[in-house]
Amino acid sequence: MPGVRECDTVGAMSNCLFCRIIAGELPAAKVYEDDQIVAFDDIQPQAPVHVLIVPRKHIPTLNDLDAADGPLVGRMVQVATGIARDRGTDTAGYRTLINVNEGGGQSVYHVHLHLLGGRQLQYGLG
Ligand code: AMP
Ligand code: ZN
C-alpha cells in the first residue's frame, strides 16, 4: 500500500513523529514495547493515565488498515488493558479510543490507541 512501510525494519520515516519516537530519534516516556507495539505517555495528558499504544508498522489512519492487520489491532487492545491493569485503573474504569482524520480529531497520522484513565471520564462528543 503506498505510504505504508514497516518503520522498524525499513528505517525511520523521518516525517512521522511516532516513527521517529519508535526509532529512538525522539524521546518519549515509554511504558511498554514488544516486537509489534510501543506505548508511551502522551505529552499533553488529558487524564492521570494517558498512554498511546502505537504499532511499529506505519499505518497512517484506521482507514488504511488491511485485512492482515486485524491481529495487530487486537494486540494493541490487549496491551492497553495490560497497561490499565498496571496503572491500577482497570477496576475503576478507563477509555480507549482512536481518532480518525481531521473530523475525528486526529493530529498524528500514525495509528495509535489512546488509553485514558485515573479520573471519572464524561461521555462527550466535543
Ligand atoms: P491524535 O490527536 O489522536 O492524533 O493524538 C495525538 C496525540 O499525540 C495527542 O494526544 C498529543 O498530545 C500526542 N503527542 C504529540 N506529540 C507527542 C510526543 N512527542 N510524545 C508523546 N505524545 C505526543
Ligand atoms: Zn509513522
User: Residue 69 half-sphere exposure, CB side, CA atoms within 13 Å?
Assistant: 19
C-alpha 37/C-alpha 50 separation (Å) is: 16
Kindly report, residue by residue over 108-122, the tens digit of the pLDDT: 999 999 999 999 999
Ligand 1 atom nearest 28 alpha carbon: 20
* Ligand 1 in reach of 33 Cβ (< 6 A): no
Kindly report, residue by residue over 12-62, the tens digit of the pLDDT: 457 999 999 999 999 999 999 999 999 999 999 999 999 999 999 999 999
31 SS3 class: strand
Spelled out in words, what is the top-level CATH class assigned to the domain 7-117? alpha beta
Distance (Å) from CA 106 to ligand 1 centroid: 9
Other beta carbons within 10 Å of 46: 12
* Ligand 1 in reach of 43 Cβ (< 6 A): yes
Give yes or no: 112 in active site: yes
- What are the extents of the domains in the chain? 7-117
